Structure formats: C-alpha cells, structure tokens
C-alpha cells in the first residue's frame, strides 16, 4: 500500500463528492409537489418516477459500494465461489417479474408505503406487520453500516485520515463529513436525492468497469496471465479455485437461490419499486435490470486481476481500491474511488429512508400515535432516517469491520423469513396469519442460532452463513434452510388453524387491486386502523 496521501486522486474524489452534494440538495426542487408533507412525497418521491429513473434508482440501490468492493474481494480471497452473486442476480429478475407488479398495484390502490402496510392490510394482523417491520429494520442497519465501510476502504487507500496511531477524531473526520452531508441532503430531499445521484453513480461505475476490464488486463499481459496467476495462487495456498469445488456446490447453489429470494425482501428494494409511476414501469425494469448482472460478472473478474497485479492486503476488502491505486493513473484512480464512494451514498440514503418509513408507518403510527397526520409522519420519518444513519456510523466507528460483515450476512438470513407473508400474500389468502407469524418466528430462531454456531478463523460466532443442512448432510445456506422450516411450519399450522376455525383476520384488498394501474379508477387511500379483532 502506498504511503502518504494521493493528492490527485483525492482532489478528483472531492470534486465528484461536491458535485453529488449539490445535486442532492437541488433534488428537493425536482418534481416538487404542492404538498410535500407526506411519506408519498418525501419517502417515495411522489410515486412519480419513470422507467429510466427507476432503473438507475434500483441499480443504485441494489449494486452498492459494498458490492463493488466485496464481490471481487471474495474472488480475490476464495476464488470462483465468490461468483455466486452473478447467478443469483440472474435468478432474481424472472422471480420479481411475477410479483413486483402485483405489489406495486395493490400498494398504489391502497396507499401502502411499506411491505408491512401490505401485510397488515392483506392479513388483518398488526402483529405480523410488526414482525415484518422489525425484521426489515434489523436487516437494513448493518447493510447501511457496510456502505460506510466501503467509503472508509477508499479513504484508507487514498491515505486520508493518517495511520492507525492517529487521533481517532482526525482519522474518522473524513467519514464523519461524508456522513453529515449524506444525512443533510437525505433529510432535505428525501428519495429524490438518491434518485438523481444514482445517474452519476451508475454512469461512473459503468465507465470504471469498462476501462478496468480492458486497460488492466493489457497492462498485466492479457487474460491468460490473469487467470494463470490466480490459478497459481490458489494452488499454492490450497485455498480457493478457478471453479467451485464439488464439495462446495451445495453451498454455492443454496447461497445463490437463497440470496435471489431475499434480495427484493429488503425494504430499500421495495421503496425504490413503489416510487415508480406505473405498473408497466416495474415490468420494463425487470427486463432491463439484468444489464447490471453483466456488469457484476465483469466486476467480479477484478478479483483475479488483483491477484495477477500482486496486490497484497491484510483485509481483502481493500484489494480492489488498492488495485485501482496501483494500476490506474492518479486522476482516473480518483474517478474510480469516486464511483465507489458515491456508490455508497446512494444505497445508504435509500436504506435509511426505507427503515424510517417502516418505523413511522408500522410502529409509530400503528402502536404509538394512530391519529398521526401525514405531516407528523413525514417529520418522524425524517428524524428516524437521521437516527438510523447515526446508529450505522456508531457501528462502523466502534466495532470490528468483520462484525459488520457478519451481521449483514445475518440480516440476509432474517429478511428471507418475510418471504412467505409478502410474496405468498400477493398470490393467495390461504395462509393463516398466526401460522405465518409462527413460521417467521421458527425461521428467525433457527437462522440466528445456526449462524451463531458458525465459527471462522477470526470470529468465534457468526463467522459465516453456511452450515450442514439437517437431514441432508450437505453444507448449505442457513437462510434457505430456515426458509424451508418457515414454510413447513406455516403450511402445517394453517391446516390446523383452519380445522380449528381460528379467526382469519380481515382482508382489505380484492382481486382487481393486484392488477390495477395508475390510470385505473380509484385513488390511493390511507391504511385504515386495524380492528380490535385483527390486532394479532
């Protein structure tokens, strides 16, 4: 790693950071509505975004700075097993094509802002809605923290903040400044800020990857040299491989499938989806978003290039920033660092908004202040979005970064347990609300305990997300095993509860709601209070 500050790269980074800061604050005037005091406006951008804005917003939301850093870092450290992210992003788009338009339609029809709003309206259960909301918030917090870890990795490689012995305030000051700016324009502009900044972020990332995939192999002597060097390293270290080993195929397949099922359960994915202006916008996006999967496959190859370039880092998360520092001219290294840094700001903003919306609509309004006005909801959501970011910042500054990574893996296991209630509810009312809640609890409990028991060379607990599958004996993704248990419990208890004629709750939706479009008769309405009999 180079000593001192890379002044040219830092200057370019600062220029781009200042540019997106201006864009973030100006976004408050973009498509400004007459009444800004509603979650529809602040938290969903007025539900007004078209195909391209939604495409950039979803891309900026799903392909984060941590993706940019972690996917090739996994390849750098463990070989082809890290490519699991590519097949899972291919699997996810046919899946979401089947249910996202239905979720958009029913949410548009009833004014739902969050997935918990839908679950409560569909099953008449505040308890199940609360479970989905709390899971979403818990799973999102470490995800936001990892975006700050991505920014910190870039700052470390540029030499900003001094060495390990530097005063903590001086060392973390650049991150504190970035956080403060992010918090300010998110508070001011809501979802419109990351929607506009996403154009800059995704354009930069595409440029950097296009240049890297051509320029770096040329400097290294071609792809033959790149793959040859990687193969030699894995052979010598007896760790990793150019293709997944047979023993790891169950892990690879279950991790890819489980991740595909979980991706659009995250609150930020749904927030970006519900900001679209029509059902057709969602359908179009599910057909063009796979372009990001192509980008991701090329991005993953940077892990092999880091090996061939002789990058030596103790933390694999620094491998790609260091590769850019070593291989690119300083000015273009600054562009690459800006792509990663801005790639952290966009999803961090959307995630904090999504978590705040869940708290406001499904905890504050449902349990603390049922008569909250739209203006009060918006004020609370803005404040909570700040608190969420502060929590993520404290997490990053006070804890080992590997802890943040492990908790993000745990978040993926947790969020998958909301799939039966959300996706199942979009297609059938057969599941009983109490059975769904019990299935969620079993999945959460098993997933958490199983992950707690996984050790790694650096962690005694929560050291990974794979463990032996009960009854099969193969190593597989804990989240998918927990999901299967969740579904089994839900189905069995639904049969039992229906046989016992347990109260089924009130469904506030009707079949035509799931295919409604923006121009159809009817307007979005506030979610009515749940009756006393449905508060389970």
3-state secondary structure at position 18: helix
The yes-or-no verdict on residue 530 having pLDDT over 60 is no
Asked if residues 73 and 320 have their Cβ atoms less than 8 Å apart, the reply is yes
Residue 338 has pLDDT above 80, yes or no: yes
What does the alpha-carbon distance between residue 354 and residue 50 come to, in Å, rounded to a whole number?
A: 20
Give the model's pLDDT for residue 536: 36
DSSP category for residue 125:
-
Are 447 and 417 within 8 A, CB to CB? yes
402 Cβ neighbours under 8 A, 6+ residues apart: 458, 459
Q: How many CB atoms lie within 10 A of CB 312?
A: 9
State percent of the chain over pLDDT 70.
90
| Average pLDDT rounded to a whole number, residues 398-426 | 85
Q: Mean pLDDT across the stretch 422-448?
A: 96
Q: CA distances (Å), 410 to each of 135, 234, 406, 419, 516, in order?
A: 11, 28, 6, 16, 36
Mean pLDDT across 61-76: 81
> Which residue's entry shows tokens 């993520």?
392
What would the mean pLDDT of 368-391 be, rounded to a whole number?
91
Residue 225 has pLDDT above 60, yes or no: yes
Distances (CA, A) of 377 to 116, 371, 380: 16, 10, 5
**Does the pLDDT value for residue 461 go beyond 50?**
yes
Mean local confidence (pLDDT), 8-37: 84
Q: Give start and end residues of each alpha helix (H) in 309-373.
A: 319-327, 330-359
Name the average pLDDT for the chain. 86
The SS3 of residue 79 is strand
Strands 466-468 and 475-477: antiparallel
- 201: pLDDT strictly greater than 70: yes
Does pLDDT of 244 surpass 80? no
Structure tokens at 494: 């639904």
166 pLDDT higher than 70: no
| pLDDT at position 233 over 50 | yes
Provide the pLDDT for residue 531: 38
DSSP string, 140-207: HHHHHHHHHHHHHHHHHHHTTT--TTS-HHHHHHHHHHHHHHHHHHHHHHTTHHHHHHHHHHHHHHHH
Per-residue pLDDT for 518 more than 80? no
Please write the tens of the pLDDT for every residue from 474-507: 899 999 999 999 999 999 999 999 999 999 889 9
Q: Does residue 416 contact residue 483 with C-beta atoms inside 8 Å?
A: yes
pLDDT of residue 414: 95
Euclidean distance between CA atoms 87 and 150, whole angstroms: 23
Q: Are 381 and 43 in contact (CB under 8 A)?
A: yes
More confident site: 1 or 206: 206
Long-range contact set of residues 426-430: C-beta below 8 Å, sequence gap at least 24:
426/99, 426/102, 426/103, 426/106, 426/118, 426/514, 427/99, 427/102, 429/122, 429/123, 429/507, 430/494
pTM, 2 dp: 0.90
Between 267 and 142, name the one with better pLDDT.
267
pLDDT of residue 523: 46
| CA–CA gap between residue 43 and residue 38 (Å, rounded) | 8
Which is higher by pLDDT, 408 or 164? 408
Most confidently modeled range among 154-163, 180-189, 394-403:
180-189
Task: Output the furthest CA–CA distance in the chain (Å, rounded).
Answer: 71
38 near 266, Cβ under 8 Å?
Answer: no
Those residues whose C-beta lies under 8 Å from the C-beta of residue 189, and which sit 6 or more positions away, are 24, 25, 26, 27, 28, 30
Which DSSP letter does residue 367 get?
Answer: I
Q: What integer pLDDT is reported at residue 522 of this predicted model?
A: 55
Q: What is the pLDDT of residue 240?
A: 63
pLDDT of residue 520: 65
Measure CA 421 to chain center: 19
Reduced to 3 states (helix: H, G, I; strand: E, B; else coil), residue 475 is: strand
- With a cut of 70, say whether residue 170 has pLDDT above it: no
- Nearest one of 44, 45, 25 to 186, comparing CA atoms: 25
Residue 515 pLDDT class (50, 70, 90 cuts): very high
CA distances to 351, 433, 505, 535 from 125, in Å: 25, 7, 7, 5
């Amino acid at each position: 790693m180079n000593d001192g500050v890379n002044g040219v790269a830092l200057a370019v980074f600062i220029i781009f950071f200042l540019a997106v800061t201006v864009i973030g604050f100006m976004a408050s005037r973009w498509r400004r509505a007459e009444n800004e005091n509603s979650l529809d406006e602040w938290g969903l951008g007025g539900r007004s975004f078209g195909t391209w804005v939604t495409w950039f917003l979803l891309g900026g939301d799903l392909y984060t700075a941590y993706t940019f850093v972690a996917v090739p870092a996994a390849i750098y450290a463990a070989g082809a097993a890290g490519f699991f992210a590519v097949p899972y992003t291919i699997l996810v788009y046919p899946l979401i094509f089947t249910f996202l338009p239905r979720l958009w339609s029913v949410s548009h029809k009833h004014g739902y802002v969050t997935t918990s709003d839908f679950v409560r309206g569909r099953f008449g259960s505040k308890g199940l809605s609360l479970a989905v909301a709390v899971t979403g918030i818990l799973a999102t917090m470490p995800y936001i923290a990892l975006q700050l870890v991505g920014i910190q990795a870039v700052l470390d490689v540029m030499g900003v903040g001094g060495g390990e012995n530097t005063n903590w305030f001086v060392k973390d000051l650049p991150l504190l400044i970035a956080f403060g700016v992010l918090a300010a324009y998110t508070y001011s502009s809501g979802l419109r800020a990351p929607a506009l900044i996403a154009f800059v972020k995704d354009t930069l990332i595409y440029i950097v990857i296009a240049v890297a995939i051509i320029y770096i192999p040329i400097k290294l002597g071609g792809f033959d040299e790149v793959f040859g060097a990687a193969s030699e390293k894995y052979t010598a270290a007896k760790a990793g491989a150019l293709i997944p080993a047979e023993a790891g195929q169950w892990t690879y397949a279950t991790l890819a499938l489980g991740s595909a099922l979980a991706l659009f359960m995250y609150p930020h994915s749904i927030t970006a989806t519900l900001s679209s202006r029509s059902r057709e916008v969602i359908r179009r996006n599910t057909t063009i978003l796979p372009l990001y999967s192509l980008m991701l496959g090329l991005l993953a190859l940077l892990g092999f290039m880091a090996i061939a370039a002789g990058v030596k880092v103790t933390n694999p998360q620094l491998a790609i920033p260091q590769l850019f520092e070593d291989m690119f001219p300083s000015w273009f290294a600054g562009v690459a660092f800006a792509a990663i840094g801005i790639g952290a700001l966009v999803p961090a903003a959307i995630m904090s908004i999504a978590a705040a919306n869940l708290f406001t609509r499904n905890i504050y309004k449902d349990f603390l202040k049922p008569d909250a006005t739209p203006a009060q909801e918006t004020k609370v959501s803005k404040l909570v979005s700040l608190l969420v970011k502060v929590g993520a910042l404290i997490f990053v500054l006070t804890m080992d970064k590997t802890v943040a990574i492990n908790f993000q893996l745990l978040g993926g296991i947790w969020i998958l347990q909301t799939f039966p209630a959300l996706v199942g509810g979009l297609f059938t009312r057969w599941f009983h609300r109490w059975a769904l809640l019990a299935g969620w609890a079993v999945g959460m409990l098993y997933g958490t305990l199983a992950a707690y028991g996984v050790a790694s060379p650096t962690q005694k607990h929560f050291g990974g997300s794979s463990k032996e599958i009960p009854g099969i004996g193969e190593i597989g993704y804990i989240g998918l095993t927990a999901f299967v248990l969740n579904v089994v419990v839900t189905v069995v208890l639904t049969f039992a509860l229906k046989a016992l004629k347990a109260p089924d709750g009130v469904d506030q939706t009707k079949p035509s709601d799931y295919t409604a479009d923006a121009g159809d008769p009817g307007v979005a309405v506030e979610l009515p209070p749940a009756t006393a009999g449905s508060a389970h």
